[in-house]
Amino acid sequence: MGIFFDLWNMKIAITAKTIYSNQEIYRNQTILIENGILTHLNIKEIPLDAKVLTCDVLSSGFLDLQIYGAGKTMFSADLSYESLEEMEIVLLTQGCTGFLATLATNSDEVFFKAIEIAKTYQPKVGNFLGLHLEGPFINPQKRGAHISSYIKRASIASIKQIISHADGIVKMMTIAPELQSEEVIDLLNEANIILSVGHSLTNFKEGIKFFDKIPAATHLFNAMPSLHHRDPGLVGAIFNKKPYTSIVADGVHVDFEMISMAKKLLHDKLFLITDAVTACNHGPYQHVFNKNHYTMPDRTLSGSALTMLQAIKNCVNKVGISVEEAIRMASTYPAKLLTININYGQLNLGQPANLVLMDDDLKLEHVVFKSIILNANDSNIIKQVY
């Protein structure tokens, strides 16, 4: 069995060749964790009673704001506490210490059942942070793999019902704003639900205005009109207004050269999502694995097969983004959009531990999160988390 400890009532000292914390880079320093809390960033003497770990690269854990499933489960198809448990544990072994479980356009019954399960779920790990509803208020002409019969326009009544029922568990929604009223957008903003433009035919002039009220855009280039020299469209509005913008860095959903261009234009507003699904042969969304991605049975491109760490590696090795910046795209920048106060992207004293330890090739070695430390290379670790 691999290493698994409860961090309460113990000290962990971690010596790293390189530590990435937001914009800061530290070399050859030792941090100290006591009772699951980060207490020192550069301790000079390691306590005799501390367990000692070493690594080449240390950073905060990864944050995925759009993921459908992990392991052998896809939450929207397996609406249960067990599904969220499996996602939590599998994603932790991959270094993902925070995620929003995502649901595509679906029936009201599915959405409200998902909300009820998420609200009453008692986390096994604590990296489940809430829900991202990608639909149903999208544009049917840019539905992608979403099912057209479930797509609809938002009414004031339906939005109030979602807000009331969600009670804060819905953290993010992807909408086509050109089909929604200004009152709908205002209601969602007042409820502190992060809005993101996606699956949309919003034009350039509309997009410029929408991004005054909407802080984000969903999976850049996918399910939106292509950039055109006579019609800059939604992509042009994104490049102009620079909202927080997610991208799927698998080389399938977006070519690596386009990711490079987007990074140069959007800088610290471009962040990574996996948009990952799992193989599924039941329910309305049945995903079929195809070499390095997933499709619907009719071969429509659907979700990715990415992990967040693989997305980081792709940015480094395929796009030419620096290691520290690729890590920020997977932690710091989505954390700023989500506005959470835990150590995502930045190591803050007095906060619960939230760390990944890697070698120089970005191979994951250990994950330290709240009261858990695990050896990420042990296939039996899922059993030990319990």
Cα–Cα distances (Å) from 82 to 74, 213, 225, 284, 384, in that order, read 11, 37, 38, 20, 16
Tell me how far apart the terminal alpha carbons of the chain are, to the nearest angstrom.
Answer: 13
Q: CA 19, 25, 27: angle at the middle one, nearest 5?
A: 60
Q: Is 275 among the catalytic positions?
A: yes
Distance CA 172, CA 95 (A): 22
User: Residues 177, 210: contact at Cβ < 8 Å?
Assistant: yes
**Cross-strand bridge partners of residue 62:** 96
Distance CA 194, CA 209 (A): 17
User: Residues 361, 323: contact at Cβ < 8 Å?
Assistant: no
**Cross-strand bridge partners of residue 196:** 174, 216
Coil, strand or helix: which one is 305? coil
8-state DSSP, 197: E
Distance CA 224, CA 342 (A): 33
For residue 274 the two structure tokens come to 């996996």
Tokens 């070399």 appear where?
A: 27
User: Residues 303, 68: contact at Cβ < 8 Å?
Assistant: yes
Pick the catalytic residue from 56, 275, 360, 378: 275
Give the residue numbers annotated as catalytic, written as ranges: 275
